Amino acid sequence: MVGRDVFLELDCVMVIKMLKEKGTNRSLVAPIILDMDREKSCPKKISFKKEDAGNHAVACRGGRSSAGSLDAPPGGANYGKCASPASSSSVRSRKRKSSRAVVVARPPEEVKTASRVVRRRRGNSKSSAAAVRGRHISSLCDDLLLQIFLRLPSVATLIRAACTCPAWRRAMSSSPDFRRRFRSLHPSPLLGLFTSDTSDASSIVAAFVPALPHGSRPDDDDLAAAVRGGDFSLPNAAGGGGGWRLVTNSCQFGNLLLYNRQDKSHAVINPYSTRRSEGQRHLLVSRNMTGRYFAAAVLSSSSRSRLMLLDNALSKMKATIFAMETGKVCSATPWVDIPACPDQVDGRVPCGRICVQSNGSVYYLCENWGYIASIDTSTMGITVVELPPQCVSRGSLAKVGETKDGETCLVYSDGRDVGVLNLMHTRGDDVQKWVLDRVVSMDAELRRVLPAGQFDARVCVLTVMAVRDGYVYLSISVTLPDSYWLLSLCLATMKLEKLFQGAYGGRTGISYIMPWPRSLIGW
Amino acid sequence: MEVDKGKGEAEETRKVAEADRDTVTLKSSDGKLFEVSKEAAARLSTVLAGMIAGGSIDDNGTDLKQIGSEALENVVDYCNKHANSIPSAALISSSISFNTAPFKEPEEWERKFVDRLSHDALFDLVEAANFLGMERLLDVTCHKISEMMKGKSPDQIREVFNIKNDYTKEELEEIRQELAWAFYDD
């Protein structure tokens, strides 16, 4: 604490340097920076977290300016980027005006905030792009830019904005928070369904049925353009040979996973890249699976895709990850015990479905088998948990996905009820628990959104197709023969919205939901 | 000690006198003074509300060193107009499609208010609104700027905002490879 007052009159950066060199505890340094900063602090409403942990911009807390603040009113300078050029003088040049030095210990998070702010200011000087003298849109800070981008009507508009200058693209793609908020305002459009073209549910999924949007939405044109822009044809779509079939629930990250029964190989195609690099498909021979049943999923959206195969024997399970390009094994889990598989449940052979999340976690759901397994792709550990009784059997179908806050949730449908479970991690990180959050009857909502006369509580059954960023995509059979509606359900409000109407296969179809553009991630 | 106490009392009386006034005086970075109704200021700006509640409002003009006189004039203008406007049914009802739910559409007068602004004034106003914690004004101004990007190609957006294209050809090609469908001018 020697010479504290002197320090405060010194150049702040120098002080930090000196203290560091002396090996002084950081707790002394931080409050000093904070005091400098509090002079200019103001409540900050908006903030987007940056992807890069080292470049955090966190909401500055309320800190109303303290006494004597009239010559230095609360100001936006605490998020340096927002300050106008004249006032964005760095911490360096600011000296504490008050002669009374008050070094107070503050809660750790506040201290963190202060040091982050300093870091961010430094970072900013490098990244000011498209600099033009005078007032210009590039003088707005990233947070304000993102506020503007949030109000764009569709992903297509966002993409075009990203293409105007690298600074904008960087602002969008460095913030997962922005991605989530944009998605919560503009749910990922459902582009269509891969369905069998007859009402026979057991036939091979063959044709892509594009979404024909209902009603007039601002992003309709963009949706139509997105559907037109992709190549959704499947290798054996025209009934040709090859033996390829689409793997159920495989449209993660915009990739389609195909399986060839004849030579037991897998292929990944992306509707948005095949058109350009004609015929380029990643093939992989999956070797002989020892298990009785198995499931597969594509793990990442990058060009170096990895494929996870789940080998599922009678009472054991194992996951193996392959590199798609080489077909080589990257990593594998040991065999893990699972509940013994019954031969038949309700007259059907039990089977599971895989759900992959953007954070890399993989869930394998087997309702009529009564368990859910989660595979951690970084540690390659499998955790098997019994499913809560609500979503076991009864023909309900469940999907794992994310809420708009990025939390893992499980959504199941039972008749016309929709149930939501949240994943809880108990203290010892390995212990998982699915906790029922709510079960909501959709009757009233269905009556509200479906065309008059098409809803009949006796025949209409909801099916969960996918859960993405806080929205559930559902299909429901209606009173018209061989007809279904696709709906989206906002998990925050539990309000339904119509997407489009189709014929056949609504229940067995595989939904294709527009992925978040790869070009707008972590750039 | 004694002196300090006296000072405190004087402060108290000043605060009381201030609380009686129903306007606050704001001072821009270039020293111009503006008056705005205390009620409107407190309602529309979280920062001003905090300052009013905390008694850190100066009779001779509360210094807002971050805000130029032009922007502050617009802020005050907005506060006054807002105080006079009757919220329309659209603003009260919350049953808007989920696509836009958290952002309420600007009202007619708000549209007119931002439409007449130059780009410079608009950017200044966005920053002032953010600075003063004026959520609604931030909403309206950001909405206006986003509308200037809507339905335009990257080239057109660059033109509107006078942005230099400092992308390399390869970088642009990379985006177009993946997202060709999003470009009208393809």
Using an 8 Å CB-CB cutoff, list chain B residues near A169. Answer: 175
Q: Among candidates A175, A37, A55, which has minimal Cα distance to A111?
A: A37
A316-330 mean pLDDT: 80
Q: Which of residues 283-342 of A touch B (CB under 8 A)?
A: none
Give the length of chain B. 186
pLDDT digits (tens, 9 = 90+) for B32-63: 899 888 888 888 899 999 988 888 777 778 88
pLDDT digits (tens, 9 = 90+) for B90-146: 444 333 333 344 677 888 889 999 999 999 899 999 999 999 999 899 999 999 999
The chain A residue lying nearest B28, using CA atoms, is A73
DSSP letters spanning A319-354: EEEEETTT--EEEEPPPEE-PPPPS-BTTB----EE
Q: Under an 8 A CB cutoff, do B182 and A156 touch?
A: yes
User: Are A198 and A301 found together in one domain?
Assistant: yes
Q: Determine the Cα–Cα distance for residues B103 and B96; give it in Å rounded to an integer.
A: 10
Instruction: Name A452's Cβ contacts closer than 8 Å, sequence gap at least 6.
Output: none
Q: Under an 8 A CB cutoff, do A148 and B146 touch?
A: yes
Report the SS3 class of residue A383: strand
Q: Under an 8 A CB cutoff, do A161 and B157 touch?
A: yes
Greater pLDDT, B161 or A358: B161
- What are the tokens at A91? 């911490």
User: Are A80 and A32 found together in one domain?
Assistant: yes
Query: Residue A30: is its pLDDT beyond 50?
Result: no
DSSP H/E element including A376: strand A371-376
- What are the tokens at A434? 């699915």
Query: For chain A, what is the mean pLDDT?
Result: 67
Confidence of residue A279 (pLDDT cuts 50, 70, 90): very low
Which residue of A157, A273, A276 is in closest CB contact with B149? A157
Q: Under an 8 A CB cutoff, do A160 and B152 touch?
A: yes
Single-letter residue type at A277: S
Looking at residue B186, its pLDDT comes to 43
Answer whether residue A132 is part of any domain: no
The number of beta carbons lying within 10 Å of the beta carbon of residue A116 is 17
A88-109 mean pLDDT: 37
Using an 8 Å CB-CB cutoff, list chain B residues near A71. Answer: 63
Which residues are bridge partners to A510 per DSSP?
A194
Answer whether residue A111 is part of any domain: yes
Q: Determine the Cα–Cα distance for residues A386 and A381; give it in Å rounded to an integer.
A: 17
Which residues are bridge partners to A209 per DSSP?
A193
User: Are A276 and A155 found together in one domain?
Assistant: no
- What are the tokens at B136? 């609604």
Closest Cα in chain A, distance from residue B151 (Å):
7
Q: Among candidates A512, A514, A468, A513, which has minimal Cα distance to A234?
A: A512
User: Are A88 and A235 found together in one domain?
Assistant: no
Q: Under an 8 A CB cutoff, do A517 and B158 touch?
A: no
Looking at residue B137, its pLDDT comes to 92
The number of beta carbons lying within 10 Å of the beta carbon of residue A141 is 23
Instruction: Determine contact: A43 vs chain B, CB below 8 A.
Output: yes
A211-217 mean pLDDT: 58
User: Are A32 and A99 found together in one domain?
Assistant: yes
Looking at residue A151, its pLDDT comes to 92
Q: Determine the Cα–Cα distance for residues B96 and B86; give it in Å rounded to an integer.
A: 19
Q: Under an 8 A CB cutoff, do A75 and B131 touch?
A: yes
User: Are A215 and A234 found together in one domain?
Assistant: yes
Using an 8 Å CB-CB cutoff, list chain B residues near A497. Answer: 97-98
Q: Among candidates B172, B159, B150, which has minimal Cα distance to A161?
A: B150
The number of beta carbons lying within 10 Å of the beta carbon of residue A411 is 24
Is the reported ipTM for this assembly greater than 0.90? Answer: no
What 3 state SS string does A359-372 have?
CCCEEEEEHHHCEE
DSSP letters spanning B109-164: HHHHHHHTS-HHHHHHHHHHHHHTT-HHHHHHHHHHHHHTTTT--HHHHHHHHT--
Q: Determine the Cα–Cα distance for residues B121 and A132; give it in Å rounded to an integer.
A: 16
Confidence of residue A7 (pLDDT cuts 50, 70, 90): very low
Instruction: Determine contact: A47 vs chain B, CB below 8 A.
Output: no
Instruction: Determine contact: A521 vs chain B, CB below 8 A.
Output: no
User: Are A177 and A201 found together in one domain?
Assistant: no
DSSP letters spanning A458-483: TT--EEEEEEETTEEEEEEE-SSTTE
Instruction: Determine contact: B68 vs chain A, CB below 8 A.
Output: yes
Q: Under an 8 A CB cutoff, do B68 and A84 touch?
A: yes
Confidence of residue A523 (pLDDT cuts 50, 70, 90): low
Listed ranges A140-149, A366-375, A461-470; the one with the highest mean pLDDT:
A140-149
Instruction: Name B23's Cβ contacts closer than 8 Å, sequence gap at least 6.
Output: B35, B36, B37, B38
Looking at residue B11, its pLDDT comes to 54
Single-letter residue type at B48: L
CB pairs under 8 A between A and B: 193
Instruction: Name B12's Cβ contacts closer than 8 Å, sequence gap at least 6.
Output: none
Estimate to the nearest angstrom the gap between the alpha carbon of A440 and the chain centroid: 24
Instruction: Determine contact: A64 vs chain B, CB below 8 A.
Output: yes
Using an 8 Å CB-CB cutoff, list chain A residues near B105. Answer: none
DSSP H/E element including A420: strand A417-425
Strands A417-425 and A432-441: antiparallel
Which pTM value belongs to this model? 0.71
User: Are A171 and A206 found together in one domain?
Assistant: no
Cα-flanking dihedrals φ and ψ of residue A283, to 5°? Answer: -110, 150
Instruction: Name A13's Cβ contacts closer than 8 Å, sequence gap at least 6.
Output: A91, A92
- CATH assignment, B2-148: 3.30.710.10
Which residue of A143, A162, A165 is in closest CB contact with B166? A165
Q: Determine the Cα–Cα distance for residues A485 and A442; give it in Å rounded to an integer.
A: 14
Closest Cα in chain A, distance from residue B86 (Å):
25
Q: Determine the Cα–Cα distance for residues A365 and A373; give it in Å rounded to an integer.
A: 7
Q: Among candidates A366, A358, A367, which has minimal Cα distance to A468?
A: A358
Range(s) of the domain holding residue A23: 4-127
Lowest mean pLDDT among A280-294, B50-64, B150-164: A280-294
Instruction: Determine contact: B56 vs chain A, CB below 8 A.
Output: yes
Our count of domains for chain A comes to 3
Q: Where are the beta strands (DSSP E) in A94-248?
A: 190-195, 207-210, 244-246
Instruction: Name B71's Cβ contacts closer than 8 Å, sequence gap at least 6.
Output: B28, B121, B124, B125, B127, B128
Confidence of residue A507 (pLDDT cuts 50, 70, 90): low
Interface mutation vs chain B, best among A137, A228, A273, A498, most B CBs within 10 Å: A137
Which residues are bridge partners to A195 per DSSP?
A207
Answer whether residue A511 is part of any domain: yes
Q: Which of residues 487-506 of A touch B (CB under 8 A)?
A: 490, 493, 495, 497
Q: Which of residues 75-114 of B touch A (CB under 8 A)?
A: 97-103
Give the length of chain A. 523
Alpha-carbon torsion (B28, B32, B33, B37), positive or negative: negative
Confidence of residue A2 (pLDDT cuts 50, 70, 90): very low
User: Are A148 and A217 found together in one domain?
Assistant: no
Which residue of B123, B143, B177 is in closest CB contact with A151? B143
Instruction: Determine contact: B123 vs chain A, CB below 8 A.
Output: yes
Q: Under an 8 A CB cutoff, do A64 and B175 touch?
A: no
Q: Under an 8 A CB cutoff, do A130 and B63 touch?
A: no
Q: Under an 8 A CB cutoff, do B166 and A166 touch?
A: yes
- What are the tokens at A183? 């998605």
Looking at residue B17, its pLDDT comes to 52
The number of beta carbons lying within 10 Å of the beta carbon of residue B38 is 18
Single-letter residue type at A371: Y
Q: Are A268 and A257 in contact (CB under 8 A)?
A: yes
Q: Which of residues 358-417 of A touch B (CB under 8 A)?
A: none
Which DSSP letter does residue A285 get? E
Q: Determine the Cα–Cα distance for residues A513 and B181; give it in Å rounded to an integer.
A: 15
User: Are A400 and A434 found together in one domain?
Assistant: yes
Report the SS3 class of residue A310: strand
CATH number of the domain that A382 lies in?
2.120.10.30
The chain A residue lying nearest B156, using CA atoms, is A164
Q: Determine the Cα–Cα distance for residues A217 and A240; give it in Å rounded to an integer.
A: 38
Using an 8 Å CB-CB cutoff, list chain A residues near B150. Answer: 152-153, 157
Q: Under an 8 A CB cutoff, do B133 and A273 touch?
A: no
Q: Determine the Cα–Cα distance for residues B97 and A517; give it in Å rounded to an integer.
A: 24
Query: Residue A480: is its pLDDT beyond 50?
Result: yes
Estimate to the nearest angstrom the gap between the alpha carbon of A298 and the chain centroid: 15
A363-385 mean pLDDT: 82
Query: Residue A53: is its pLDDT beyond 80?
Result: no
User: Are A436 and A300 found together in one domain?
Assistant: yes
Confidence of residue B75 (pLDDT cuts 50, 70, 90): very high
Which residue of B68, B99, B142 is in closest CB contact with A186? B99
pLDDT digits (tens, 9 = 90+) for A417-449: 899 988 887 766 667 788 889 999 999 999 999
* Domain layout of chain B by residue ranges: 2-148, 154-186
Q: Are A355 and A373 in contact (CB under 8 A)?
A: no
Q: Are A137 and B122 in contact (CB under 8 A)?
A: no
Closest Cα in chain A, distance from residue B62 (Å):
7
Instruction: Determine contact: A126 vs chain B, CB below 8 A.
Output: no
A33-43 mean pLDDT: 37
Using an 8 Å CB-CB cutoff, list chain A residues near B123. Answer: 135-137, 139-140
User: Are A312 and A249 found together in one domain?
Assistant: yes
Q: Under an 8 A CB cutoff, do B54 and A64 touch?
A: yes
The number of beta carbons lying within 10 Å of the beta carbon of residue A139 is 21
DSSP H/E element including B178: helix B169-179
